[in-house]
């Protein structure tokens, strides 16, 4: 029996303090390094939750002077980052703490980049070679995840959209990796079922897409398989009757997915990203609905990898169709939709969505090439 009520340390890919109670180490950690004025970045939902208020009060009790920044969008935009940079400077902050899910982490990481890098933010877009301009030091940066989905706490990139077009840009540098991660599953215990399910399916998508992404990276593939196994045995319990074990397994599996997708992602994320851009759909929900359809597209010719994924997740049957059907059934068990029309997509959206999907940065790593016509056909089938 694994004990999840003790804190363990993993040094991969950065220093991770994992286990119930790890979040209590934040204040002493910062104080021990001589920091006193952290900019604490989160989203408007997390800001009002009891555990977050407790974290802030504990920092204050320990003599730190945290400055809170939470004025960010569900799908973060450039103006969020610029406002956060201003908040850092106005407060005279000396370090940055990202607390939350993907939105809070992305904005915190982008603010970290912006403090000593003064070009236009999107000149640092990795897709146009902007990482070459990330040459200066960055403020000390730590993270505390509050969902088990994006795994952004161990990421080195931030996805930020343009305010007007909502085109997604990716800011990347190894310098943006958190110096310390405090992964405390207790912070996820009060998540509502929908958020638990949607973010959990996001984590599953990361692990599955990383496993079959193009290229040779057996380390990432091994991590991805174990991440899938942990999710399959815990996501339903974490959603419907959460306990420390299920929440802990989901948190570590989410983190593992983010490590694994250093190998790459694929068609599912390219199907999902346009839904967030065009319709402001929750990213995890967009992945959940599209995951069975994207995997169905990839299955022919990948029978062995699909068999290994099925074995990892305890799916009976070696035919890839069994795994695809299991994904549909999993969404249903979690109370998530299996059709795009259930999340506001209409026929008239499909052409625009297909164009955005074709332009997305994830599908070049898909194991099979995907055309605009493929995207349109998949969207029509999923509608």
Whether residue 108 sits in one domain with residue 29: yes
Whether residue 336 sits in one domain with residue 226: yes
Report residue 78 as tokens.
Answer: 């450039």
Rounded CA-CA distance 365/212 in Å is 9
DSSP for 292-354 reads HHHHHHH-TT-HHHHHHHHHHTT-S-SSHHHHHHHHHHHHHHTT--SSGGGGT--GGGHHHHH
Using CB atoms within 10 A of its CB, is residue 334 exposed (0-12), middle (13-18) or buried (19+)?
buried
Report residue 109 as tokens.
Answer: 């990481």
Nearest Cα neighbor of 144 from 55, 12, 50, 32 is 55
Whether residue 233 sits in one domain with residue 363: yes
Nearest Cα neighbor of 94 from 29, 136, 139 is 139
Distance, CA of 278 to chain centre = 19
Using CB atoms within 10 A of its CB, is residue 193 exposed (0-12), middle (13-18) or buried (19+)?
middle
Whether residue 180 sits in one domain with residue 35: yes
Q: The pTM is what?
A: 0.94
Query: Which of 156, 187, 218 is the last residue in one of the domains?
Result: 187
In a domain, 233, yes or no: yes
> What is the structure's pLDDT at 71?
94
> What is the structure's pLDDT at 5?
87
Distance, CA of 332 to chain centre = 22
Whether residue 252 sits in one domain with residue 321: yes
Whether residue 141 sits in one domain with residue 289: no
Q: What is the pLDDT along the chain (383 residues), one digit of tens a residue?
A: 788 889 999 888 899 999 999 999 999 999 999 999 999 999 999 999 999 999 999 999 999 999 999 999 988 999 999 999 999 999 999 999 999 988 999 999 999 999 999 999 999 999 899 999 999 999 999 999 999 999 999 999 999 999 988 888 999 999 999 999 999 999 999 899 999 999 999 999 999 999 999 999 999 999 999 999 999 999 999 999 999 999 999 999 999 999 999 999 999 999 999 998 889 899 999 999 999 999 999 999 999 999 999 999 999 887 999 999 999 999 999 999 999 999 999 999 999 999 999 999 999 999 999 999 999 999 999 99
Q: State the residue range of the domain holding 226.
A: 191-382
Query: Which of 160, 187, 214 is the last residue in one of the domains?
Result: 187
Q: Is the peptide bond before 13 cis (omega within 30 degrees of 0)?
A: yes
Rounded CA-CA distance 269/291 in Å is 9
Whether residue 211 sits in one domain with residue 138: no
Residues 248, 2, 228, 239, CA torsion sign = negative
In a domain, 17, yes or no: yes
The total number of residues written for the chain in this structure = 383
In a domain, 2, yes or no: no
> What is the structure's pLDDT at 12?
87
Whether residue 315 sits in one domain with residue 256: yes
Using CB atoms within 10 A of its CB, is residue 343 exposed (0-12), middle (13-18) or buried (19+)?
middle
Rounded CA-CA distance 148/192 in Å is 12
> What is the structure's pLDDT at 44?
94
Nearest Cα neighbor of 146 from 281, 39, 49 is 49
In a domain, 19, yes or no: yes
In a domain, 370, yes or no: yes
User: Please, how many CA atoms are within 13 Å of residue 53, restricted to the half-sphere of its CB?
Assistant: 4
In a domain, 200, yes or no: yes
> What is the structure's pLDDT at 165?
84
Domain count, the chain: 2
Whether residue 202 sits in one domain with residue 174: no
CATH number for the domain spanning 291: value is 1.20.1090.10
Per-residue pLDDT of 324-364, as tens digits, reads: 999 999 999 999 999 999 999 999 999 999 999 999 999 99
Whether residue 172 sits in one domain with residue 200: no
> What is the structure's pLDDT at 1?
75
Query: Which of 187, 203, 230 is the last residue in one of the domains?
Result: 187
Query: What's the Rg (C-alpha) of the chain?
Result: 20
Residue where the block lists tokens 């958190």: 178
Q: Answer for the pair 12, 260: CB distance below 8 angstroms, yes or no.
A: no
Whether residue 206 sits in one domain with residue 162: no
CATH number for the domain spanning 171: value is 3.40.50.1970
Residue where the block lists tokens 């996501």: 235
Helices 193-212/267-279 angle, 10° precision: 140
Nearest Cα neighbor of 259 from 7, 9, 12, 8 is 12
């Amino acid at each position: 029996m694994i004990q999840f009520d003790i804190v363990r340390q993993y040094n991969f890919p950065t220093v991770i303090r994992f286990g119930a109670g790890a979040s209590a180490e934040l204040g002493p950690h910062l104080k021990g390094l001589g920091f006193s004025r952290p900019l604490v970045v989160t989203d408007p939902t997390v800001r009002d939750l009891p555990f977050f208020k407790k974290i802030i009060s504990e920092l204050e009790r320990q003599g730190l002077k945290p400055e809170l920044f939470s004025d960010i969008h569900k799908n973060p935009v450039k103006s969020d980052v610029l406002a956060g940079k201003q908040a850092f400077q106005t407060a005279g902050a000396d370090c940055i703490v990202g607390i939350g899910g993907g939105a809070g982490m992305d904005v915190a990481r982008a603010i970290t980049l912006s403090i000593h890098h003064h070009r236009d933010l999107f000149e640092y877009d990795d897709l146009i070679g902007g990482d070459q301009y990330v040459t200066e030091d960055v403020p000390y940066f730590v993270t505390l995840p509050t969902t088990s989905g994006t795994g952004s706490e161990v990421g080195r990139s931030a996805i930020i959209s343009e305010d007007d077009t909502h085109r997604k840009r990716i800011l990347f540098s190894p310098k943006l990796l958190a110096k310390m991660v405090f992964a405390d599953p207790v912070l996820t215990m009060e998540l509502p079922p929908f958020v638990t399910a949607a973010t959990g399916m996001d984590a599953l998508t990361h692990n599955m897409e990383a496993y079959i992404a193009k290229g040779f990276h057996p380390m990432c593939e091994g991590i991805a398989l174990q991440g899938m196994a942990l999710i399959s045995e815990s996501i339903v319990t974490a959603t419907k009757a959460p306990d420390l074990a299920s929440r802990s397994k989901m948190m570590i599996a989410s983190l593992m997915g983010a490590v694994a997708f250093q190998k790459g992602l694929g068609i599912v994320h390219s199907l999902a990203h346009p839904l967030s851009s065009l319709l402001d759909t929750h990213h995890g929900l967009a992945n959940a609905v599209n995951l069975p359809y994207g995997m169905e597209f990839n299955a022919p010719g990948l029978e062995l990898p699909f068999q290994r994924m099925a074995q990892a997740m305890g799916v009976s049957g070696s035919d890839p169709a069994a795994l695809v059907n299991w994904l549909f059934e999993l969404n249903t068990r979690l109370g998530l939709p299996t059709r795009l029309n259930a999340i506001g997509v209409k026929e008239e959206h499909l052409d625009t969505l297909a164009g955005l999907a074709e332009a997305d940065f994830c599908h070049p790593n898909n194991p099979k090439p995907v055309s605009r016509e493929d995207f349109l056909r998949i969207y029509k089938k999923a509608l």
